[in-house]
Chains A and B, each alone.
Chain A
């Protein structure tokens, strides 16, 4: 067992974990935050996407111990009493079907818009290119990211 300390959604956590525990298992099993999903466990689907220090990562491909001292954001950490504009947009344009890809999609969109509020449609497509959605066909998701961009610009 080894000790690891990291900040998840603004809260500092210290845990004793097996050395090979993946960040995904740390989040789901240790912290009981179930919004981060596992679709493949091999870096292919993006369902497990989280934001680490501003960039997106597949939490199934990262060891928890490698996140020592880092700041992690999961889907549970992006809104408080009110929804984040990206979440609102996903609701409003009906970009959600089965919902399994949704947390990862929202986080990929967030990392993009946090860095580049003027992102083009091409950049949006690129930003979610590591997130597979088997239900929607992506059209609505891109529409949602565009709507979110508008909402964020207004704020």
Chain B
């Protein structure tokens, strides 16, 4: 089947009405995943809805206690926005290290989430930051945590009449870090990536989140480990039993994969690097 038309709405309202007017539509954001999928026959929509002209989706705003990121914000914008760098170190580094300059100019945060690749770079950050996705259709608007979205993927994934509009991240004081292990510096898809977020109170860990990517169908948190470190000092994050938990989590997730022996070893180094990234200093 061939794409018959590329529709270019100017507003979100128009997008929603296009869903009812046209059948077999697909949203086109940056196109860095979708156009290749179409070329390789993995997707065959009849209509593309190009969100490129909708200015409202390209904003990053501070709204009360949250930062709200439009789904059409590009990786370039994300990596250059002061408020991202200020509040979400992990997100900033993840965006900065993604793809190449050309790809970062084009690819969007929304596309990265919705495409749902195991090795997506933004998703682990969002999950570790307790981000919420705002998904809209002509009839309703639903809010779902990014984590839940992937846990319940088959049920929660965006439907044909829905569009992801915003990502909301609570603006809390926390140390956050990201590291991606790729085969080279630029244009590398993650072999393993990890995002962490630490809330500290009186030198003790109050809340900890760690999300691992490229070691399962979707990025996931290691809850057991997160609980284990609460109340401990930061040093404890490098304890053998912590690293062992990570190793076990990777093993359990990809037991039968050929890459398992490598990845369960690599995760420990990647985790340390993510911590370094959060502290802004070398700890190894």
A65 touches B103 (CB 8 A): no
Q: Which residues of B contact A63 (CB under 8 A)?
A: 6, 28, 31, 35, 48, 50
B23 close to chain A: CB less than 8 A: no
User: Does any Cβ of A come within 8 Å of B86's Cβ?
Assistant: no
Whether A56 contacts B31 in the complex (CB less than 8 A), given A20-B38, A130-B187, comes out as no
Cβ of B106 within 8 Å of any chain A Cβ, yes or no, is yes
Is residue B5 within 8 Å, beta carbon to beta carbon, of the partner chain?
A: yes
Which of A8-16, A42-50, A94-102, A142-150 is found at the contact surface with chain B? A42-50
Please determine whether A56 and B36 come into contact, CB atoms closer than 8 angstroms.
Answer: no
Rounded to whole Å, the gap between the CB of A99 and the closest CB of chain B is: 20
B102 near A65: Cβ-Cβ < 8 Å = no
The CA-CA distance from A43 to B234 in the complex, in Å, is: 41
Decide if A120 is an interface residue (CB 8 Å cutoff).
no
Interface residues of chain A, those whose CB is within 8 Å of chain B, are: 2, 19-20, 22, 41-44, 46, 49, 55-58, 61-63, 65-66, 68, 108, 126-127, 129-131
9 A–B contacts from the bound complex (CB under 8 Å): A42-B36, A43-B102, A46-B100, A56-B105, A61-B32, A61-B35, A63-B6, A129-B187, A130-B100
Contact B101 A68 (CB under 8 A): no
Which residues of chain B (53-97) have a CB below 8 Å from chain A?
A: 76
Report how far A64 CA is from B99 CA in the complex, Å.
22
Which B residues are in CB contact (< 8 Å) with A129? Answer: 100-101, 185-187
Q: Is B144 an interface residue (CB 8 A)?
A: no
Cα distance, A42 to B186, chains bound together (Å): 15
Contact residues in A for B103 (Cβ distance below 8 Å): 43, 58, 61, 130
Q: Does B4 lie at the interface of the complex (its beta carbon under 8 Å from any beta carbon of A)?
A: yes
CB distance A130 to B102 under 8 Å? Answer: yes
Complex CA gap A2/B106 in Å reads 22
B8 touches A130 (CB 8 A): no
Residues of B within 8 A of A19 (CB): 3-6, 48
Q: Please tell me if the beta carbons of A127 and B31 are within 8 angstroms of each other in the complex.
A: no
Residue of B nearest to A54 (CB): B105
* Given A56-B102, A126-B101, A65 contacting B50 (CB threshold 8 A): yes
- Interface bits B1-16 vs A (CB < 8 Å: 1, else 0): 0111110100000000
In the complex the two chains form, is B32's CB within 8 Å of A56's CB?
no
Is the Cβ of A58 less than 8 Å from the Cβ of B106? yes
